Structure 1
Amino acid sequence: MRARHLLRALRSRNYRLFVAGQSVSLVGTWMQQVAMSWLVYRLTGSSFFLGLIGFTSQIPTLLIAPVAGVLADRWNRRRLLLATQTLAMVQAVLLAIAVLTGTVQVWQIIFLSLLLGVVNAFDIPIRQAFVVEMVEHREDLGNAIALNSSMVNGARLIGPSVAGILVASVGEGICFILNACSYLAVIMALTAMRLSPGLHQQRPRRHILHELREGFEYAFGFGPIRSILLLVALVSLMGMPYAVLVPVFAKEILHGGAHTFGFLMTAAGCGALSGTLFLASRKSVLGLGKVIARSVIIFAVGIAAFAVSHNLFFSLMTLVLAGFGAMTLVASCNTILQTILEEDKRGRVMSLFTMSFIGIAPFGNLAAGAMADMIGPSDTLLIGSGFCLAGGALFARHLPAIREKVRPIYQRMGIIQEVAEGMETGAEVPPLVDDLDKH
């Protein structure tokens, strides 16, 4: 039954184009990410520098994403995405030139990582807000969000494995070249889209600080949105930095090389893809409250088990578990937010979600890199998993209160009252978005 719903968002032509272009581009993105991590560790042999690269690639999101959210609510989102994708392609070209000419130095990687971080700080929230414009049938929005995450993790299966082989055989430079070429696919897809002029109407503009404050007050003044943002921020700070330490585990603990690193990243991608396919097969937001709480626990258990593992096969299995929990959490939170927020604040709320997921992560990456040098990578991950478990338990405790605060919004939108209760009780209710369209 669920399989029929898995790809329903693809009936929208623009979204099909987006999926085709992004699927190619994301493979290149994962190849570059793996190759860059291995390059840094090969040049420095330092966990701290791995954390520093993670920090510089993500810290711009914390500072810039709110402004990007305002722009996403003001301007044409397709044109903004064409600009960000072109700039990201230029960054990959510069990185490839530095590596292939043999002149690459760590400071250059840090600078180019920071440059890409600035581009992504604009790109990600704009792309999140753009999804609603590409999907012709509103009832397919939740499926489109889940499929978008599935694309990321489908590419995560291919990119790291290919990168591991290429890095071991011909070096990191070719990975950066292929990533640069992959951006052409998404640029062509965006250009080929046919969007209705009425989908993104020009809204009255006020001072940017006023719109920023309005977005913050709207998001953090409402308990369910605030709870989701804070939970994602906690997991990003304490749990997600496990990814920057994977090269250390691959080389120092599992005694492998670039191939081992690629396999470990692919295992996490397998789990993440399974999680997003599970969410894509769902017909509504029914049960997502409990899914969020449980996914945090699954993620925490996965990284804790990875931290104590000295066996490659067991490590692969633990990262499958961690990947499933992490992406199920993020995609579930994204789906609920996109369902309940007001359209004129969509860009700003999604920018805050991007801040929570990506903008907070740099501090976790930097801290994890420094702690791994001091107390070891295993203890670092165990501490992070403990905080994630505590956050998941606290969120679960507040689920009844979240349900009560969501119910009035559904009533104002004309959705039956039981939907809000169904998020936690598991009662059978009609699909949420179908009811939205009926009213």
Structure 2
Amino acid sequence: MSSGPGADSAPAPTDDHHDAPLTTFSSLAVRNYRMFFFGSSISNIGTWMQRIAQDWLVHELTGSAAAVGITTALQFLPMLLFGLYGGVLADRFDKRRLLFVTQSSLGLTGLLLGALTITGHVNVYHVYALAFVVGVVTVVDNPTRQTFVADMVGPRLLPNAVSLNSANFHSARLIGPAVAGVLITAVGGGWAFIVNGLSFAAPIVGLMMMRSSELNASLRAPRRKGQLREGLRYVGSRPELLWPIVLVGFIGTFGFNFPVWAIAFTDGVFDAGAGSYGLLNTLMGAGSVVGALLAARRGSRRMRFTFAAAALFSAVLMLSSAAPFFWVYAVLMVPMGLVAMTFQVSSNAGIQLNTDPEMRGRVISLYMMVFLGGTPIGAPVVGWVTDSFGPRVGMASGGAICLLGTMALALVLARIGGLRLRIDLRAGRRALALVPRDPQPVATTA
């Protein structure tokens, strides 16, 4: 595979960035990551365009909200069924070559759906089938793309790069839907699919322009039986991986259900319209971008920071449930997006940094499977509580469950680590802190 001009003549990686102070955009000083970042910026806008246009197309074809839900479910289903196998492939094969294949495949699905729509031959089953294909490709693309970041920037800059990737994705969320809306109105949704398909040329060119000699070589797992079970045993034997992944699954299942609550509050509590619902999503997206950029600057990889972010997110959920007016609820969407993104970034970076390179693909695929799979499982439960007891009770109970789960898992980890919670109400002292347990007295003999 060609790596572009000068790929083999470039100097070997150096430690030039190791002593520089960490800033918000430190990872962009790494040339390979810079190529990756700007290519992803363009394709992310296209991805958000396709999401909006695809939902609109299904609604036009069927007039059914359930059909829109089926489309989303088909796109997530492969991750639930085959997610761990994607991690095995990411560990086994060259990540850059895999990304060439996955990014090209995603681009082709967009072009095909666009051609079917523009020519008037599309039906809902075409959309269902292509949504499922996108989900299958994503099973491989997601862990490969996530773990390839470490190959580009190394362990020191990994939290920063993960944060910038999240900021990149959510910044596109502020642009893509608006552009899709203009295209759908002006020339039809088919052209939004075409633009998305063409947008994948940007990351493919970025991959071609990378210098292979400046990538951090990672060990590849040899082909053998039992690699999936090996990954599960690996996570199960390491508390620093197992319990954060459990936490991610818990928060994803009961907390990351913003659309269910936001639309219930917009319509049922504040009697507002679709424009207000769109505003809530925009404000949450803006908060997510800010959270990702702050996480990029801080670069924390400590597990206690991840648990603190989960607890703060739970508290914001409960606080938002009591908002007396729409504008108060809307303003709270910004900190909600901020702490939600901080939690995502810190958990992702912490799990990758605590994983051996040859196992990273399988571990991050388990992380993504739990995180992405939890939300569609939890949404019907959260929706039932919200419908039965009202939006305020639904949102408050979601936050309370997340907070209780976070505290319980934190206590489990503290016990494993030989720590105890110290409460100190004296002035000038930390009120709450985890400290080593008092050592047991040693028995002496006369």
Asked if 1:323 is matched to 2:341, the reply is no
Take 1:369 and 1:88, find their aligned partners in 2: how far apart are those partners? 32
- Picking from 203, 221, 224, the partner of 2:240 is 224
Task: Measure how far apart 1:212 and its partner are.
Answer: 0.8
Residues 151 and 216 of structure 2 are in contact (CA less than 8 Å); yes or no, is this contact kept in structure 1?
no
State the AA in 1 paired with 2:207: L
- Picking from 90, 95, 102, the partner of 1:77 is 95
Take 1:40 and 1:303, find their aligned partners in 2: how far apart are those partners? 31
Task: Measure how far apart 1:95 and its partner are.
Answer: 3.0
Query: Which position in structure 2 is the counterpart of 1:173?
Result: 190
State the AA in 2 paired with 1:350: I
For the pair shown, which has the larger CA radius of gyration, 1 or 2? Answer: 2
Asked if 1:193 is matched to 2:204, the reply is no
- Picking from 347, 353, 365, the partner of 2:367 is 353
Written as runs of structure 1 = structure 2, the 5 A alignment for 1:225-304 is 225-243=241-259, 255-257=272-274, 259-285=275-301, 288-304=302-318
Q: Per-residue displacement from partner, 1:285-331 (whole Å, max 9, x unpaired)? A: 3xx43432232233334445666768553343232222122211111
Q: Per-residue displacement from partner, 1:257-288 (whole Å, max 9, x unpaired)? A: 3x545433221211111111111112543xx4
Residues 289 and 399 of structure 1 are in contact (CA less than 8 Å); yes or no, is this contact kept in structure 2?
no
CA RMSD of aligned residues (A): 3.3
Query: Which position in structure 2 is the counterpart of 1:408?
Result: none
- Picking from 95, 114, 118, the partner of 1:96 is 114
Q: Per-residue displacement from partner, 1:161-198 (whole Å, max 9, x unpaired)? A: 43345455655434323222211111111121121387
Take 1:337 and 1:35, find their aligned partners in 2: how far apart are those partners? 34
Take 1:104 and 1:378, find their aligned partners in 2: how far apart are those partners? 41
Task: Measure how far apart 1:77 and its partner are.
Answer: 0.6
Take 1:211 and 1:141, find their aligned partners in 2: how far apart are those partners? 25
Query: Which position in structure 2 is the counterpart of 1:434?
Result: none
Residues 164 and 262 of structure 1 are in contact (CA less than 8 Å); yes or no, is this contact kept in structure 2?
no
Greater relative contact order (Cα < 8 A, sep 6+): 1
Query: Which position in structure 1 is the counterpart of 2:47?
Result: 29
Task: Measure how far apart 1:379 and its partner are.
Answer: 5.5
SS at match of 1:281: helix
Written as runs of structure 1 = structure 2, the 5 A alignment for 1:356-375 is 356-365=370-379, 367=381
Residues 26 and 157 of structure 2 are in contact (CA less than 8 Å); yes or no, is this contact kept in structure 1?
yes
Asked if 1:119 is matched to 2:137, the reply is yes
Query: Which position in structure 2 is the counterpart of 1:415?
Result: none
State the identity as a percent: 35
Take 1:99 and 1:140, find their aligned partners in 2: how far apart are those partners? 43
Return 5+ residue gaps in structure 2 as ranges: 1-19, 420-432, 436-446
SS at match of 1:92: helix
Inter-CA distance 162–267: structure 2 relative to 1 (3 Å threshold): farther
SS at match of 1:159: helix
Inter-CA distance 118–364: structure 2 relative to 1 (3 Å threshold): farther
Task: Measure how far apart 1:228 and its partner are.
Answer: 0.6
Task: Measure how far apart 1:148 and its partner are.
Answer: 1.7
Inter-CA distance 206–23: structure 2 relative to 1 (3 Å threshold): same
Inter-CA distance 248–284: structure 2 relative to 1 (3 Å threshold): closer
Q: Which moved more, 1:38-47 or 1:378-387?
A: 38-47
Inter-CA distance 103–364: structure 2 relative to 1 (3 Å threshold): farther
Task: Measure how far apart 1:61 and its partner are.
Answer: 0.9
Give the number of equivalent residue pairs. Answer: 401
SS at match of 1:27: helix
Task: Measure how far apart 1:79 and its partner are.
Answer: 1.1
Inter-CA distance 250–67: structure 2 relative to 1 (3 Å threshold): same
SS at match of 1:199: coil
Take 2:387 and 2:188, find their aligned partners in 1: how far apart are those partners? 27
Take 1:4 and 1:86, find their aligned partners in 2: how far apart are those partners? 34
TM-score by length of 2: 0.78
Take 1:38 and 1:247, find their aligned partners in 2: how far apart are those partners? 17
Query: Which position in structure 1 is the counterpart of 2:349?
Result: 335
Take 1:186 and 1:399, find their aligned partners in 2: how far apart are those partners? 40
Residues 65 and 352 of structure 1 are in contact (CA less than 8 Å); yes or no, is this contact kept in structure 2?
yes
State the AA in 2 paired with 1:116: V
State the AA in 2 paired with 1:157: L
Take 1:60 and 1:301, find their aligned partners in 2: how far apart are those partners? 33
Take 1:189 and 1:218, find their aligned partners in 2: how far apart are those partners? 33
Take 1:100 and 1:204, find their aligned partners in 2: how far apart are those partners? 45
Residues 50 and 369 of structure 1 are in contact (CA less than 8 Å); yes or no, is this contact kept in structure 2?
no
Residues 297 and 325 of structure 1 are in contact (CA less than 8 Å); yes or no, is this contact kept in structure 2?
no
Residues 58 and 358 of structure 1 are in contact (CA less than 8 Å); yes or no, is this contact kept in structure 2?
yes
Take 1:274 and 1:352, find their aligned partners in 2: how far apart are those partners? 27
Take 1:395 and 1:229, find their aligned partners in 2: how far apart are those partners? 11
Take 1:13 and 1:274, find their aligned partners in 2: how far apart are those partners? 24
Take 2:386 and 2:58, find their aligned partners in 1: how far apart are those partners? 16
Inter-CA distance 284–314: structure 2 relative to 1 (3 Å threshold): closer
SS at match of 2:217: helix
Residues 96 and 207 of structure 2 are in contact (CA less than 8 Å); yes or no, is this contact kept in structure 1?
yes
Q: Which moved more, 1:348-357 or 1:261-270?
A: 261-270
TM-score by length of 1: 0.79
